[in-house]
Amino acid sequence: MSVTGPGPGDPTKVGVPIGDVVAGMYGAYGVLAALHERERTGRGSVVRTSLLASLVGVHAFQGTVWTVAHEVPVAQGAHHPSICPYGLFHASDGPVQIAVGSEALWRAFAPAFGLPVDAPGFATNADRVRNAPEVRRAVDATFASWRAEELLAELARLGIPAGRVRDLRQTYEWEQTRSQGLVVEVEHPVLGPIELPGPPLRHFAADGSEWRRQHTAPPPYGQHTDAVREEFTGS
């Protein structure tokens, strides 16, 4: 929370249950690694993780900012702490996210939008990070006259990574989401046909064909009670 939110004074919870999800993922990775080790050496192991371990494990470079540089990272809103401009900006009809992640990209980006390439406070990434509020205001001011679709087309032409900020309805209706199998339809015993978020992993054979798996709905309470009892008691 201390590195998420609009600023240092407003620590903000991540919008999804990130600790629960990541701890489960780390647990699964650990079990798979242990199974591989057992197959390779015959040696078994106990796998442990925790919610705390999972969150420390995703600190990425922010963690080493403290452990190596002994600086305490703080929330930067929707912007990158060490690259500028890199974050959320506003077109006339909605927000977009951009990543001007190198000096070469800056030199392509700035002239196209009338920004001073080599002016004091703008010439290098280090300058722009130190002068971030002014740089961000300048980018927002020039984006204000663009519609998001046209702006993103121009950014794509320049080779600047960028994208819309979508709500969840837009995300699940997006063709890119559906083309990757990230929405699945299942038959629920109470609700009938429903759509659910699909699995983030897909498996393909060497010939490029996908291994299709049957997706099932979450079971209602007690759906498998009899089957589980029979499994363990034989009756």
Domains in the chain, please, with CATH? 1-77 (no CATH), 86-164 (3.30.1540.10), 179-233 (no CATH)
What span, in angstroms and rounded, lies between the C-alpha atoms of 72 and 134? 23
What span, in angstroms and rounded, lies between the C-alpha atoms of 104 and 198? 38
pLDDT tens for 66-123 read 999 999 999 999 999 999 999 999 999 999 999 999 999 999 999 999 999 999 999 9
Distance of CA 49 to the CA centre of its chain: 22
Q: Does an H or E element contain 193, and which?
A: strand 192-197
Tokens of 48: 């442990």
pLDDT tens for 179-235 read 999 999 999 988 999 999 999 998 999 999 988 778 889 988 998 999 999 999 876
The pLDDT value given to residue 196: 95
What span, in angstroms and rounded, lies between the C-alpha atoms of 3 and 11? 7
Count of other CB atoms within 10 angstroms of residue 3: 17
